[in-house]
Structure 1
Amino acid sequence: MEEFKYEELVEATESFSPSRLVGKGSHGCVYKGVLGDDRVIAVKTLSLALRALHDNSKLHNETRILSSLADPDNSSSSLSDHVIKLLGTSQDPSHNEVLVIEFMPNGSLHDLLHPPANGAPPPTWPARLRIALQVARALQSLHGRKPFIVHRDIKSANILFDSEWNAKLADFGLAVMDSDDRLDSPAGTIGYLDPNYTCPSKLSRKNDVFSFGVVLLEIMSGRKAMDVSKQTASIVDWAISLLEGQRAMDICDPRISLPSAVPFRHMVHLAGRCVAADEGSRPSVSEIVMEMERVLPHHRVRVPAWLSPWRSLALLKRWRKHARRCNTSTLVKPGAQKGEIQGDMLSGKV
């Protein structure tokens, strides 16, 4: 892991200019930076609130967790392609931790699912399946290692997209390892937080499964996890009521069309199992990945008929190469240039 000079990061971010700010949360602020060798990076600094409290614990913890995932000396460490990569660290003049992570140019899943009025069209059904599977695989890599890691803050705002629209799980400030002392109070985001996680002893991988189930419902419905403008604010309460009333199709995002009701029902019922009140009824993440992969045969990638034969062949070759890398060949759209990938993904040409 590289140790960056703080002055180098100041220059890369134009002195942490507001114009370079790409993300902001309770734990930190993220800036886009361009290094002297033209590498584009993201620089995460302590939030103003935590800076005032002199609390560097969240960024320090994130460094610890991400470093352990990438540790080549740990045989159980296998960094998923769908977990954000830590490139290095630095310290500001007050000795606060500064993280340098890979830059994710295409925003978050929350932004994608909930664009402003007259914004970009919503992602298509195949694109949503692909995203859900990639997030599940990221979580599988955390839960499957020794010691396992519980993220504790799985939500759509913490799922980011790289230049190829691959989903990556980010923000490990609240994450804990199984080997850690279980002294931390329950933490997470309202709407995604497992209601059974009421004290430190209740921490388990099933807490993440619940949060993933909320994200899956959000992906399928296009509805926010918590929306006080709705009669039923909680997406979980709303969806469970529909599932119990045999109205699973009413969960479908009305902005998109489905190629088949079968895989959609399969996915929403899987989400329902993830958010079950009884922790014992929730599947493991490995089971979730297997269930999702069973849905894949229902979807075949089609090359749009309006493309010329030459361009169709070129895109298909690019798609096959990309699909082999992501291992999601039945969900991935034929690749194109960056702007075309974004436009096709959002416009339904999948």
Structure 2
Amino acid sequence: MKEFDYEKLVTATDGFSPSRLIGKGSHGYVYKGLLHEEDKRHSVVAIKTPSLSPSPSSLLFEKSEQMKKLENEINVLSSLPCSPHVLSFLGHAEKRLMVVELMPNGSLHQLLHVSTTLPPPTWLKRIEIALQIARAVHFLHGQGIVHRDIKSDNILFDWDWEPKLADFGLAAHLADEKRPPPAGTIGYLDPCYTCPENMSTKVDVYSYGVVLLEIVSGRKAIDVTRSPTSIVDWAVPLINEGKVGEICGGGSAVFVGTNLRLLRMAARCVSSDVETRPSAGEITAEIVLCLAGPLRSLPLWMSFFRGVVKLKRRRTRLRETLTWPGQTCHVR
């Protein structure tokens, strides 16, 4: 686990300038940082802090709840092997500042519910996102870790618009003898998770099911302007009645059968009968099958075109430069 010099991170963020603030998580603030490497190259990263203006003196005070969560996130991420589906951990400074890869394209929540400049993701892209996050959850569970806060806000997009699971402040090891009290986000929190002893991988499966409903329907997990306000209470009865069109608004005929399978899987994930919920591995396998159907229906030239577009994005990413005040840096 690489340890960064605190002053180096201060310089990288222009003294944690508000102009570098790019996000606020459940337990900290995220800044865009420019790290100067010894080989004269520069790396653009994200630096997470437990407060707006972290300073050495502030680190001497009794740990705040935010600081405890940030330390937990550092401990969890540093214990994980690399995965293409989880936010990459690069290091920390004094266990109070965390350095991770920059995810420049925002969150799934922003893409689905906030953005006015980007078109809604295609049906194929939605299925791909669902698959990537299912793989992330499967990976975590394989490491004996429960995320406990899976939601669309914690699914971020990298330079190539590939989604990754982030924000591990509430994550917990299943092997720990002392389990933390229930925690999570309203709308995504498993209603069956009422005491520490109830913590299991099925807690994440419930939250994933809510995200899957979001991806397919485009509706928020909790929407006070609608009735029912909960996406689960709204969608599950419709799924049981087979009213797929009312949930996903129709869509391409190629994806109707696929959406039905995804929605049935989502309904299993959010079932009140915890034992009947699928594992993350089962979810992943089912979505792979769902994705295979539409891909077989696509013309060969379209599949080739998608591959070319991805390759061009990666090449552009390698050549891309960022211009900062008074200097130019090459992005790796």
- Shorter chain as normaliser: what TM range? 0.7 to 0.9
The DSSP-based 3-state class of the residue aligned with 2:87 is: coil
Partner of 1:18: 18
Partner of 1:39: 43
Out of 288, 292, 295, the position equivalent to 2:290 is 295
- Structure 1 residues 208, 269: closer, same or farther in 2, change over 3 A? same
- Structure 1 residues 3, 223: closer, same or farther in 2, change over 3 A? same
The DSSP-based 3-state class of the residue aligned with 2:254 is: coil
Partner of 1:81: 84
Partner of 2:146: 150
Amino acid at match of 2:134: A
Partner of 1:97: 96
Amino acid at match of 1:290: A
RMSD: 2.5
- Structure 1 residues 302, 45: closer, same or farther in 2, change over 3 A? farther
Partner of 2:30: 30
Taking the aligned partners of 2:127 and 2:28, their CA distance within structure 1 comes to 30
Instruction: Tell me the number of residue pairs that the alignment of Structure 1 and Structure 2 aligns.
Output: 304
Amino acid at match of 1:143: H
Kindly state the Cα deviation for residue 258 of structure 1 after the two structures are TM-superposed: 4.9
Taking the aligned partners of 1:214 and 1:296, their CA distance within structure 2 comes to 19
Partner of 2:267: 272
Out of 126, 129, 140, the position equivalent to 1:128 is 126
The DSSP-based 3-state class of the residue aligned with 1:194 is: coil
Kindly state the Cα deviation for residue 14 of structure 1 after the two structures are TM-superposed: 1.2
* Residue 209, structure 1, aligned to residue 205, structure 2: yes
Out of 62, 72, 77, the position equivalent to 2:73 is 62
Partner of 1:177: 173
Taking the aligned partners of 2:123 and 2:178, their CA distance within structure 1 comes to 39
The DSSP-based 3-state class of the residue aligned with 1:337 is: helix
Kindly state the Cα deviation for residue 248 of structure 1 after the two structures are TM-superposed: 2.4
Taking the aligned partners of 1:53 and 1:225, their CA distance within structure 2 comes to 35
Q: Does the CA-based 8 Å contact 1:43-1:99 persist in structure 2? A: yes
Q: Does the CA-based 8 Å contact 2:29-2:48 persist in structure 1? A: yes
Q: Deviations over 1:180-239 (max 9, x none)?
A: 233421000000000000010110100000000000000000000000011110000000
Amino acid at match of 2:99: V
Kindly state the Cα deviation for residue 57 of structure 1 after the two structures are TM-superposed: 1.1
- Structure 1 residues 47, 249: closer, same or farther in 2, change over 3 A? farther
Amino acid at match of 2:47: V
The DSSP-based 3-state class of the residue aligned with 1:39 is: strand
Q: Deviations over 1:247-301 (max 9, x none)?
A: 12211056x5453311110111111110001001100001101111111221225
Question: Which consecutive segments of 4 or more residues in structure 1 shift more than 6 A?
Answer: 49-53, 338-341
Structure 2: 5+ residue stretches without partners: 318-332
The DSSP-based 3-state class of the residue aligned with 2:312 is: coil
The DSSP-based 3-state class of the residue aligned with 1:186 is: coil
Partner of 2:323: none
Q: Does the CA-based 8 Å contact 1:182-1:201 persist in structure 2? A: no
Q: Does the CA-based 8 Å contact 1:161-1:168 persist in structure 2? A: yes
- Structure 1 residues 158, 253: closer, same or farther in 2, change over 3 A? farther
* Residue 242, structure 1, aligned to residue 238, structure 2: yes
Partner of 2:313: 337
Q: Does the CA-based 8 Å contact 1:25-1:47 persist in structure 2? A: no
Amino acid at match of 1:294: L
Taking the aligned partners of 1:99 and 1:283, their CA distance within structure 2 comes to 34
Q: Does the CA-based 8 Å contact 2:151-2:211 persist in structure 1? A: yes
Q: Does the CA-based 8 Å contact 2:160-2:310 persist in structure 1? A: no
* Residue 263, structure 1, aligned to residue 258, structure 2: yes
Amino acid at match of 1:261: V
Query: TM-score when scaled to structure 2?
Result: 0.85
The DSSP-based 3-state class of the residue aligned with 2:216 is: helix
Q: Does the CA-based 8 Å contact 2:145-2:173 persist in structure 1? A: yes
Taking the aligned partners of 1:278 and 1:189, their CA distance within structure 2 comes to 20
Query: TM-score when scaled to structure 1?
Result: 0.81
Kindly state the Cα deviation for residue 134 of structure 1 after the two structures are TM-superposed: 0.3
Partner of 2:106: 107
* Residue 252, structure 1, aligned to residue 248, structure 2: yes
Taking the aligned partners of 1:41 and 1:22, their CA distance within structure 2 comes to 11
Structure 1: 5+ residue stretches without partners: 71-78, 306-311, 320-332, 342-350
